[in-house]
Every structure is written in C-alpha cells, then in structure tokens.
C-alpha cells in the first residue's frame, strides 16, 4: 500500500516534470559590436550575432539549455562560456564538460569553432548569470542574466526587474590586461574603470505603479568593484542570494561583490506619491588604489511614478556599515551548519612580485598557471591515478576530495584588498567572516603579516552560526579571514577563485577535483570537446604536463616565474620602479601618484619610460 502510493507519487511527479520541462536553444556567435554604453565614449563591445547587449536568458526549473557558442572573433582571440552558479550535478546528466572555464573543464574555443553547452538546470532556481570564462572578455559585455523561474517561490510580487550592475573600461579588455600585468605596474594596482553601468547603461529609469510589489534581481556582473544600492524612501526585503531563498530581511542598503546576486522585494507607495525617487548605485571606493578626480563614484537612477514629477535628487547614504551583512542571512529552509569537517584546507592569500617584475596573487605562495591539458582531460584519461593530486600539476593548487566528505576552506587574507571568492559547482556555508583589518593607506608588503588576523579555530571571532548563510560567492575582507564549508556531494572539477577578474588573471585560483572515479564512470570526452582541443593543438590525454606514459612525469609543466633575485626584494623593486617613474615625470610625489596613470595615453612618454627601464635592466 505504502509502496503503491509512493510509486504513484513518483510517477505523477515524473510525468509532471517531463511535461513541463522545455529545451531552450540558442546560437550565439561572438564578435565586436560598436556601442556607446555610457553615452560618453564610443567603443567596441563583445556581442552575439552582431548585437550588444547580449540577451538575458529566462528558463523554468528543470529546463534544458542548449547553447551553441561559435567563436566569431577575427582577432584570433579564443573564448568559452560559464553559467555562474550552476551545479551540473552528475545526477541530472553528465554536464561537467559544460562548466566553461578554459583549461579547467574545456579547451579554449578557437575562431571559427563551435562548442555546445548542453545541460539541465536540475532543481536550481533563482538568479544566476552567464559570462565568458576566457581572459577578461566578460568585462567587455560578454555577460547576461540567467533567471530560473520557480512556480513555488516562497514570496509574492507583481513584477520582476532584472538589473545588472557592472563597470565600464573604455579600452578593450586585452589592452587593460596588458597594462595591468606588467612590471611597469609593480604594486599590482587594479585598473580603474571609467564609469559604473546599470543594466549596461549610465542612467536608468524604472517605472513603478502605486500599490505594486516588485522583485528586483540585482546581479553584480562586473570585473572588479563591489557596489552598494540604496533606495530613497523605500526598503528592500532580501529574499534570495545566489539562487538560495533566505528568511526575508529588510534593509535600505545592499552590497554586492562581483559575482554575487541579491533579489529583494520592494513595495511601491500605496498612494500616488507625487514625486519620483532615487535609486543610488555606489562604487565601493575602498577597493580603488587611487581615485581619479574625474571618476564618478555613484549614479542616480530614477524610480518613476510619473514622468511629469521630474528627476529625483541624489539620496545621501550616511553609513555604509548599515549595509545588509551576508553573514547574518539565514536560508529559508533553515539548513543547519555542518557540525564538523573531514578535510580542512587553509589558503594564505598574498600578492607579490616574481622575477619578471609582475605582481602576482598566491594561495600558499603558488600562483595558478594553466596546465598543458585541461584538468578534466587529465581526470578522465588517468584511470587509477586520478585520485592522486600530483598528476594535476602543483601550479594549479589541486585538491582531490572523496564523495561525501565535508570540506572546510579557510582563507586568510595577507592583502589589504577585498576578494570575493567564488566556487563552481557548489554553494558553501559561511562559517566565519571576519571584518577587515586594513590600516588605511598602508600598502607595504612587509607589514601585512603584522596587520593580518588569521582564523584561530580555538578562538573564533564570530559565534558559529547555527543556520548559516549559503551562497556561491563570499566577500573576504582586507587582512581578515573567512571560513567556508560544503559537502563533496557533487562529483566534478570545480574552479575556486577570486571573482575580481584582475586577481584571477594574477593567479588567485585553485581546482577542486571531487570524486574523480565517479566522473570517469559517468563521462567520456565528447567528440565536440576533443575537436575543440585538437583545433587548439591540445592533447586529449595526459597529466598536467601532457604526459601519459609516466603519469608523474612533470617535464615541461608550465610554471610560475622564478622569484626576484636574492637581495632584490619586492619592496626594493617597487621603490626602484616608482622612483624611476617619479624621476621621469619629476612632478609627482609617490604618495599621491596615480599608479594606473603609469601607462599614460601619451604613447611617447610610455615608450621613453620603457626604454629607461629596459636600459637599467631592472627586472631580470
């Protein structure tokens, strides 16, 4: 009897989901499109099929997505696409080849090639996004919202609005990257954007009607800065973060790091207010090493009840500490904290110069360098060796997990920067999240050790939350720490990295290989996968160095540059480059020197500088 009713329940559930699940097919060909996102500076953006912005994608729970991504770049750039927050759960079919990061779960797609991203969204619901996972391409517009609608949302609203927060650089990503990752930028100062963007434009107007409730889905799809959002005379009630429903929490100020999503209900005024209101978008200026005087740090958008009421004034935010704090949000389902861990990984995060003079980012003194073959290829072709982290190459910070283990990741920040850490394939519980301990204005590399407050397990700074926040991207504060836990219940190859894309470019990443034998059982490399690799001249078998005769032979493994020569400290190197620069310009003091101005628009000054530095044979 019981068996029968369970069976019929199962059958009806199965039929219902089968009947409603749809497949959404897209053909996207990448290419440069002339646009003027901020109305100030025309530039080329990365669009699909000749259009920019690229479309938002809306699906329902359980649906399948088939995206044919064709590389249409004519400048030789390779590409790939990642659906941020998707679990690609092995139990929903085998889609680990669809996660997107280049050289982790696929090869770079070369011009003229097409790769199919084909996966179901499984049980996942809420606010996600998709973006390029090759170089910093997404900053130039190769990103869109990805919304999974749910008939059973635990809240009600009349209309939804999807809003991407990002920033704009006027120069193309490859130029900004080149200017960032050079020995002429020895402190690793992040490139300063020229503008904020709100849903890919500068000024926006959102129409409100009295009496209605709106669901505002915010996505920080930027490369770099965190952003605050403040609403004049209206409150936000947070109901979802990163695809996880939370106990409603009301606030006037939201904070989103890059990669994060926050959905909030906003109740419009009951009666016609006879005025319009300001929705403020504000850059977290603490993240900027220098603030150029012309940079506009906040933008005012109009919540329009009636066009005739005129534009709203700025809404002033007095205390940014009032922003909703992710650590205190509780999941709607009140999921309890994993009470212990099986495996603990501690990452000390540092930024420093290596022998080529460039500033790199490190987990435990290792900066991520792409292996010769994607880690997925190594997992699927290494047979019994797949359980041994040594075959993945020490320069990717690899960790192998067994199914069911509770993993605790401790991040200690020996850097005065903010870092939003993102894990592919999982949500994690936020077990500890310290405040920042940065001493303003102090960037001296050799003082970081004194300032930094590491996680001390026997004396945690925060009480352990009984029902912790759960999400896929978390903020690590300057010189502080965070502690995360998740269960290794999703076999895969999961990239764990800082979502400040400049820091990822500097190598702030690790790769988690979860239950490799389950992956081997469920997967073979598809013909499409192998073709893409072959076209790029990448082997379809082998360890991180491309060897398959001896799985522990690491000859030819791509490695990080050597350290600075002994006696040539990072601090000395920075001082030398700075004094050379200062001597050249003769006008600036080191203190207020704008480092991103190191590469001035004036090409002649740049060339002279280069020559002087080369003649002095600084870095090698």
3-state secondary structure of 437: coil
Nearer to Cu ion, 287 or 539 (CB): 287
Contact 30, 72 (CB under 8 A): yes
Q: Could you say which of ligand NAG, Cu ion, none residue 324 binds, taking C-beta under 5 to 8 angstroms by partner kind?
A: ligand NAG
Q: What does the alpha-carbon distance between residue 495 and residue 376 come to, in Å, rounded to a whole number?
A: 11
By CB under 5 A, residue 503 contacts Cu ion = yes
Q: Kindly report the number of other CB atoms within 10 A of residue 226's CB atom.
A: 24
By CB under 6 A, residue 233 contacts ligand NAG = yes
Q: 321-357 burial by CB neighbour count: b if 16+ within 10 A, else e?
A: eebbebbebbbbeeeeebeebeeebbbbbbbbbbbeb
Q: What does the alpha-carbon distance between residue 68 and residue 113 come to, in Å, rounded to a whole number?
A: 10
Q: 197-212 burial by CB neighbour count: b if 16+ within 10 A, else e?
A: bbbbebebebebeeee
Interacting span for ligand NAG (CB under 6 A) from 186-194, 323-331, 475-483, 601-609: 323-331
By CB under 6 A, residue 458 contacts ligand NAG = yes
By CB under 5 A, residue 475 contacts Cu ion = no
Binding ligand NAG (rule: CB under 6 A), the pick from 21, 44, 110, 161 is 161
By CB under 5 A, residue 474 contacts Cu ion = no
By CB under 5 A, residue 96 contacts Cu ion = no
Nearer to ligand NAG, 349 or 373 (CB): 349
Q: Are strands 359-363 and 43-48 parallel, antiparallel or unpaired?
A: unpaired
| Helical spans, DSSP H, in 217-360 | none
Reading the block at residue 352, the tokens are 């420093």
Nearer to ligand NAG, 426 or 485 (CB): 426
- Provide the minimum distance between the beta carbon of 608 and ligand NAG in the complex, in angstroms, as a whole number: 34
Nearer to ligand NAG, 155 or 517 (CB): 517
- Provide the minimum distance between the beta carbon of 324 and ligand NAG in the complex, in angstroms, as a whole number: 5
- Provide the minimum distance between the beta carbon of 158 and Cu ion in the complex, in angstroms, as a whole number: 38
Q: Are strands 343-353 and 406-413 parallel, antiparallel or unpaired?
A: parallel
- Provide the minimum distance between the beta carbon of 512 and ligand NAG in the complex, in angstroms, as a whole number: 12
Reading the block at residue 330, the tokens are 């509780």
Q: Are strands 244-251 and 236-241 parallel, antiparallel or unpaired?
A: antiparallel
- Provide the minimum distance between the beta carbon of 265 and ligand NAG in the complex, in angstroms, as a whole number: 11
CA angle 570, 480, 462 (to 5 degrees): 165
Interacting span for Cu ion (CB under 5 A) from 212-220, 450-458, 491-499, 581-589: 491-499
- Per-residue interface string for the shown chain with ligand NAG, residues 169-208, x marking contact by CB under 6 A: ------------------------------x--xx--x--
* Residue (of 270, 104, 187, 68) closest to 506 by Cα position: 187
Binding Cu ion (rule: CB under 5 A), the pick from 65, 230, 500, 570 is 500
By CB under 6 A, residue 12 contacts ligand NAG = no
- Per-residue interface string for the shown chain with Cu ion, residues 29-68, x marking contact by CB under 5 A: ----------------------------------------
* Residue (of 37, 39, 38, 62) closest to 47 by Cα position: 37
By CB under 6 A, residue 306 contacts ligand NAG = no
- What residue number has its CB nearest to ligand NAG? 39
By CB under 6 A, residue 89 contacts ligand NAG = yes
* Residue (of 218, 230, 229) closest to 473 by Cα position: 218
Window 486 to 545, contacts with ligand NAG (CB under 6 A): 489-490, 517
Cα 360 to Cα 187, 189, 245, 283, 366: the distances in Å are 9, 11, 37, 25, 9
By CB under 5 A, residue 88 contacts Cu ion = no
By CB under 5 A, residue 419 contacts Cu ion = yes
- Provide the minimum distance between the beta carbon of 500 and Cu ion in the complex, in angstroms, as a whole number: 4
Cα 134 to Cα 46, 104, 168: the distances in Å are 13, 11, 18
Q: Where does this chain bind ligand NAG (CB under 6 A)?
A: 25, 27, 39, 53, 56, 66, 68, 87, 89, 91, 93, 114, 118, 161-163, 199, 202-203, 206, 233-235, 247, 249-250, 280, 282, 297-298, 314, 316-317, 324-325, 328-330, 348, 364-365, 387, 402, 426, 456, 458-459, 489-490, 517
């Amino acid at each position: 009897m019981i068996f029968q009713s369970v069976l019929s329940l199962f059958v009806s559930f199965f039929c219902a989901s089968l009947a409603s699940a749809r497949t959404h097919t897209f053909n996207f060909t990448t290419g440069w499109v002339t646009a003027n996102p901020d109305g100030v500076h025309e530039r080329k953006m990365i669009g699909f099929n000749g259009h920019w912005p690229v479309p938002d994608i809306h699906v329902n729970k359980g649906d399948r997505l088939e995206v044919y991504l064709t590389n249409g770049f004519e400048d030789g750039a390779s590409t790939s696409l990642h659906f941020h927050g998707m679990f690609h759960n092995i139990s929903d079919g085998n889609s680990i080849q669809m996660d997107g990061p280049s050289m982790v779960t696929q090869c770079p797609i070369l011009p003229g090639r097409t790769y199919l991203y084909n996966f179901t969204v499984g049980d996942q619901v809420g606010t996600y996004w998709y973006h390029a996972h090759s170089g910093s391409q997404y900053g130039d517009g190769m990103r869109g919202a990805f919304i999974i609608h749910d008939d059973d949302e635990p809240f009600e609203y009349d209309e939804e609005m999807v809003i991407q927060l990002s920033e704009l650089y006027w120069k193309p990503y490859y130029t900004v990257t080149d200017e960032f990752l050079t020995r002429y930028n020895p402190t690793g100062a992040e490139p300063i954007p020229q503008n904020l963007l709100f849903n890919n434009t500068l000024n926006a107007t959102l129409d409100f009607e009295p009496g209605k409730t709106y669901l505002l889905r915010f996505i920080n799809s930027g490369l770099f800065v965190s952003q605050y959002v403040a609403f004049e005379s209206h409150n936000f009630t947070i109901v979802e973060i990163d695809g996880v429903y939370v106990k409603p929490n009301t606030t006037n100020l939201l904070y989103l790091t890059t990669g994060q999503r926050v959905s909030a209900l906003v109740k419009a005024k009951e009666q016609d207010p006879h005025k319009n209101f300001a929705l403020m978008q504000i850059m977290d200026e603490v993240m900027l090493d220098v603030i150029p005087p012309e940079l506009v740090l906040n933008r005012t958008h109009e919540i329009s009840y009636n066009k005739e009421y005129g534009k709203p004034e700025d809404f002033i935010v007095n205390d940014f500490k009032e922003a909703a704090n992710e650590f205190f949000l509780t999941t709607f389902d009140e999921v309890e904290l994993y009470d212990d861990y099986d495996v603990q990984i501690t990452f000390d995060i540092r930024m420093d110069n290596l022998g080529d003079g460039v500033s790199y980012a490190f987990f435990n003194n290792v900066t991520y360098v792409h292996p010769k073959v994607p880690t997925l290829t190594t997992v699927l072709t290494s047979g019994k060796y797949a359980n041994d982290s040594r075959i993945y190459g020490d320069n990717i910070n690899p960790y192998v997990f067994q199914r069911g283990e509770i993993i605790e990741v401790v991040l200690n920040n020996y850097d005065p920067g903010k870092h939003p850490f993102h894990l592919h394939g999982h949500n994690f519980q936020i077990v500890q999240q310290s405040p920042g301990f940065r001493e303003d204005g102090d960037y001296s590399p050799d003082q970081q050790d004194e300032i930094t407050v590491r996680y001390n397990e026997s004396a945690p700074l925060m009480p352990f939350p009984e029902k912790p926040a759960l999400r896929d991207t978390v903020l690590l504060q300057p010189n502080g720490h965070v502690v995360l836990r998740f269960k290794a219940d999703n076999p895969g190859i999961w990239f764990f990295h800082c979502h400040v894309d400049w820091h990822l470019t500097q190598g702030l990443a690790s790769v988690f290989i979860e239950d490799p034998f389950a992956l081997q059982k469920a997967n073979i490399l598809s013909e499409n996968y192998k073709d893409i690799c072959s076209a790029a001249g990448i082997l379809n078998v082998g360890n991180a160095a491309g060897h398959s005769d001896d799985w522990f032979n690491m000859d030819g493994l791509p490695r990080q540059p050597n350290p600075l020569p002994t006696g040539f400290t990072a601090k000395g190197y920075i001082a030398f480059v700075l004094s050379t620069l200062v001597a050249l310009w003769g006008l600036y003091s080191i203190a207020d020197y704008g480092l991103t101005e190191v590469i001035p628009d004036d090409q002649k000054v740049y060339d002279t500088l280069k020559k002087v530095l080369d003649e002095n044979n600084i870095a090698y």
